[in-house]
Structure 1
Amino acid sequence: MPPILGCVADDFTGATDLANNLVRGGLRTVQLIGVPKPGTAVPDVDAVVVALKSRTTPAAAAVAESVAALAWLQAAGCRRFFFKYCSTFDSTDDGNIGPVADAMMARLGTDFTIACPAFPETGRTIFKGHLFVGDQLLSDSSMRHHPLTPMTDSNLVAVLGRQTARKVGLVQYREVAAGAEAVRGRIAALQAEGCGYAVVDAVSDDQLHVIGEAVADLALVTGGSGVAIGLPDAWRRRGLVGASGEAAAAVPAIAGRAAVLAGSCSAATLGQIAEWQKSRPSYNIDPLRLANGEDVAAEAMEFIRERIADGPALVYASAPPETVKAVQAKLGRAEAGEIVERAMARIAQELVAKDGVRRLVVAGGETSGAVVSALGVSGLRIGAQIDPGVPGTVTLEDPAIALALKSGNFGGPDFFAKALAQMP
């Protein structure tokens, strides 16, 4: 049987986050890196997640790449489709969530889908269409300082409405609390009103199962990884997938040296760096020194090599918002990020090629994308969860590498040490 589900994710850690929840639901899942080439073999799994690096690319490029990935998944025989974006709805008024979702709907010949980035287990909830991060509105959270996609509006109906010509409606908490039939009824009413999208409230993980049952027959679902939690069981009730089991998370164990790379500037990652530094070595990548032509990457690799026999070290470019703004003012927003990504990619590549590193923890979606691309990874087997939203993974290549790719906002303060202990 071909995979039931084909997914397009707009960044690497988001793809892994989604794959993690599908595996938790008992779906055998593989994550492929970039649009698969024609003739790429279709994996013998229940779900395929294609990881792109399209969250912050120009909207036209993001649309073209996403539609190409969708076309491959259609050709692979997938029967349901998912567009995954960040649980903090990272985007601007120019895109990319609305334009990509519009294009995918057109490709699939459907005129309606939902938008639900809620993931209560990680503190992302939606109430009356407003997205909360923990106890704060999105617009009051640290996401308002995001260097590429500052989120200053918590009203997802309004945010999505500025990115699409389609009418955007809302399925409120009261309908979700009343059950799947009530959600379906509200969706039907919104469709009759001419809505192309419905933002869906969710404040608990139980409600994700309600939503999953209500939308399991839609051709396309869009959202964060949380809304995928309810889909596997809904499809089992329809006889579309087999019984769940622990075998879905089975991956081989990988031995070898380890390192940690962090490029995210989120509050969660900054806290994880601070926790690591209490007892373990770290080296800071200064983007201004990189811009001046100094070989900071070589210095970082030497720092790691001097200590690697005693255990892993951390290399980080993460910084608080005021420092990031100062760097961007001097280098430009795009160059400030790209110069760090190139350095992290080179460090990862050389550590694997020359120093026997086979276990990497990487923090940040853009950083993870750069590292995975530099390593020439074509895909990942998805293993057991380390922290909500973050599984251990093993590359498909030989020799295999164990990777923990963490979205900047995810994980507890001790995530780096925990990941190294729990990775395959």
Structure 2
Amino acid sequence: MLAHALPARPVAFYGDDFTGSTDVLDVVAKAGLSAVLFLAPPDRAMLARFPQARVVGIAGVARSQTPAWMRAQLPAIYESLRATGAALLHYKVCSTFDSAPEIGSIGEAARIGLEHFPSRPVPITVGAPALRRYVAFGNLFAGFGDERYRIDRHPVMARHPVTPMREADLRRHLAQQAGFSIGLVDKVDLATPDIRRTWRDIAGSDDAVLFDTVDENDLVVVGDILHARILQATARGEPVFAVGSSGLEYALVAAWRAAGLLGTAPAPRPIAPADRVVAISGSCSPVTAAQIAQALQDGFTPVRLDPVALLSDNAAITRATDQAAAALAGGRDVLVYTADGPDTMIDLPPGTDGSAFNDRLGTVLGHLLRDLLARSGVRRAIVAGGDTSSHAVQQLGLHALTVASPLVPGCPLCHGHSDDPALSGLEIALKGGQMGQRDFFRRAKTGAASHA
């Protein structure tokens, strides 16, 4: 077990989308570790504004980008992570691992990391039981409703509009994206008494190693292994590079807690109900569709948008903004959305690049949200959809987020930090498509946190 105290800054991470980035904030904040998420790589002056932060994150958009974009952008981002002085540098991906060789390639991001950081093998930790994500014998499973599905048979992720998951064996999935070898430390290996010493023998000469993570016991063992790597990195002055979901932080926290290295986490600050909230959604997930339907039953005023018209007709943006602003002025909550499930038909013009279209849509929705916040004075906002959040939040004039209070697992309510007094202190929740219960939007308004 662990025998040393934590480094002053044990982890820094780059999230390949914004919702996943706040997922990490949620994990470490619940463990009592102060953390900050920057919305762009921080310079020294910006980093110095948050001297108490033991975990530092940078929210990004790599999940919706090409390998060429990654080769151009990730080296500088990785150097920004290195400049934080953290012992472990984490390329954070979604716990559903959805990615493809041409879009959001986790393999390409890992290969770039291997070029910049000499430590081998790169640990890959994906399962996060608290989020109902499990890796067993290298295969990824995820919960949906009352069931658990292999990811290539998952009702949502097998039909993802951009990166459908067609392979559950994560090593085979990565092999389509990466030109390096990947070992596996599986559930049986993790149960052996000396695994903390022998896992490197299992990995052999592999460039990376995937860890099974099915339950809390697995998390503690994997966290022990990761912490030992952190101590080695601290001693030699060269950080460890790792890839994975928030399962990596869940594993570290489980090990640190089991070893008594974490103090008592502070009680969550109660969330006061908001007088009004404004929500925007670009998510096509059926989970979000059910949440939208419930929100309308709960009294949210709907503003349904045609995404194609929104990007081609300025008058459509004006009409939508005016409709939403009028409802907010009348004291009502507003939900602006572009889809109500995976079967929503979007008739793109011939030759349209779908990924670029989604990027532009998120940007337009971000401008719409900022306009609504300025016109209404609303101080709590919700953004649903990973790609939507990544591009929309960049339009709000915020430079960082910190956790205000837990809301649902993987999606905390955050404080926005801005040099604009009208935006600083904005409360905002970034909800991934699969996150939250059916009444999520009502909970985000009333402040009723859930641990399910």
With normalisation by structure 2, the TM-score equals 0.85
Residue 326 (structure 1) shift: 4.5
Aligned to 1:322, the other structure's residue is in SS state: coil
Distance, in Å, in 1 between the alignment partners of 2:254 and 2:225 is 12
Residue in structure 1 matching 2:67, options 53, 59, 62: 59
RMSD: 2.6
> Aligned in 2, Cα 1:97/1:395: closer, same or farther, shift over 3 Å?
same
- 1:347 corresponds to which residue? 368
- 1:26 corresponds, among 32, 36, 39, to 32
The answer to whether 1:380 aligns with 2:401 is yes
Q: 1:121 aligns to what?
A: 130
Q: Equivalences for 1:127-206 in 2 at 5 Å?
A: 127-134=136-143, 135-141=148-154, 142-178=156-192, 181-182=194-195, 184-185=197-198, 187-192=199-204, 194-206=205-217
Aligned partner letter, 1:416? F
CA distance in 1: counterparts of 2:297 and 2:131, whole angstroms:
25
* 2:327 aligned with 1:307: yes
1:15 correspondence with 2:21: yes
Q: How many angstroms apart in 2 are the aligned matches of 1:252 and 1:284?
A: 29
1:5-404 residue pairs with structure 2 within 5 A? 5-37=11-43, 39-42=45-48, 43=50, 44-94=52-102, 96-134=105-143, 135-141=148-154, 142-178=156-192, 181-182=194-195, 184-185=197-198, 187-192=199-204, 194-218=205-229, 219-232=240-253, 234-235=255-256, 243-246=263-266, 257-280=276-299, 281-293=301-313, 295-308=315-328, 309-324=330-345, 326-327=347-348, 331-397=352-418, 398=421, 399-404=424-429
Tell me: CA distance 1:264–1:198, structure 2 relative to 1, closer, same or farther (3 Å): same
After superposition, the Cα gap between the structure-2 partners of 1:177 and 1:303, relative to the gap in structure 1 and judged at 3 Å, is farther
For 1:199 and 1:328, locate their aligned partners in 2 and report how far apart those are by CA, in whole Å.
Answer: 41
Counterpart residue number, 2:232? none
Between the aligned partners of 1:322 and 1:330, the Cα distance in structure 2 is 21
Distance 1:154 1:161, change over 3 A: same
Q: Distance in 2 between matches of 1:122 and 1:315?
A: 26
Amino acid in structure 2 at the alignment position of 1:317: T
Name the aligned partner's letter for residue 89 of structure 1. F
- Cα deviation, 1:291-341, whole Å, max 9, x if unaligned, reads 442532222222222222333111111243333465486844134413421
SS class of match (1:60): helix
The answer (yes or no) to whether the contact 1:147–1:324 under 8 Å persists in 2 is no
Q: Which amino acid aligns with 2:36?
A: V
Q: Name the stretch that deviates more: 324-333 or 43-52.
A: 324-333
Percent of paired sites with the same residue? 27
- Do the aligned partners of 1:175 and 1:183 also contact (CA within 8 Å) in 2? no
Counterpart-to-counterpart distance in 2, 1:329 and 1:148: 17
C-alpha separation between the residues in 2 aligned to 1:18 and 1:4? Answer: 13
Q: Deviations over 1:197-233 (max 9, x none)?
A: 1222122244222211122233133211123112135
Q: How many residues align?
A: 419
The answer on whether the counterparts of 2:276 and 2:445 sit within 8 Å (CA) in structure 1 is: no
Correspondence for 2:436: 411
State the 1:353 CA deviation: 1.8
TM superposition shift of 1:21:
0.5
Instruction: Return closer, same or farther for 1:206/1:235 CA change in 2, 3 Å cut-off.
Output: closer
Cα distance per residue 1:36-84 (max 9 Å; x no partner): 2354333221100111111121213224433323212322221222111
Distance in 1 (alpha carbons) for counterparts of 2:346 and 2:189 = 42
Q: Contact 1:169 / 1:190 at 8 angstroms: preserved in 2?
A: yes
Residues 21 and 184 (structure 1), Cα distance of their counterparts in 2 relative to 1, 3 Å cut: farther
Distance 1:102 1:39 in 2: 30
Give, in whole Å, the separation in 2 of the partners of 1:283 and 1:6. Answer: 38
Q: CA deviation at 1:145?
A: 1.8
Deviates more, 1:163-172 or 1:35-44: 35-44
Secondary structure at the residue paired with 1:41?
helix
1:401 to partner: Cα distance: 0.5
Letter in 2 for 1:126: V
Inter-partner Cα distance in structure 1 for 2:244 and 2:270: 27
Amino acid at match of 1:23: A
How many Å apart are 1:404 and its aligned residue? Answer: 0.5
> Unpaired runs of 5+ in structure 2?
1-6, 230-239
Question: Which whole-Å CA distance do the structure 2 matches of 1:306 and 1:342 have between them?
Answer: 22
Greater CA drift, 414-423 or 387-396 = 414-423
* Counterpart AA for 1:45: A
Distance 1:282 1:330 in 2: 31
Q: What is the identity, as a one-letter code, of the residue corresponding to 1:225?
A: S
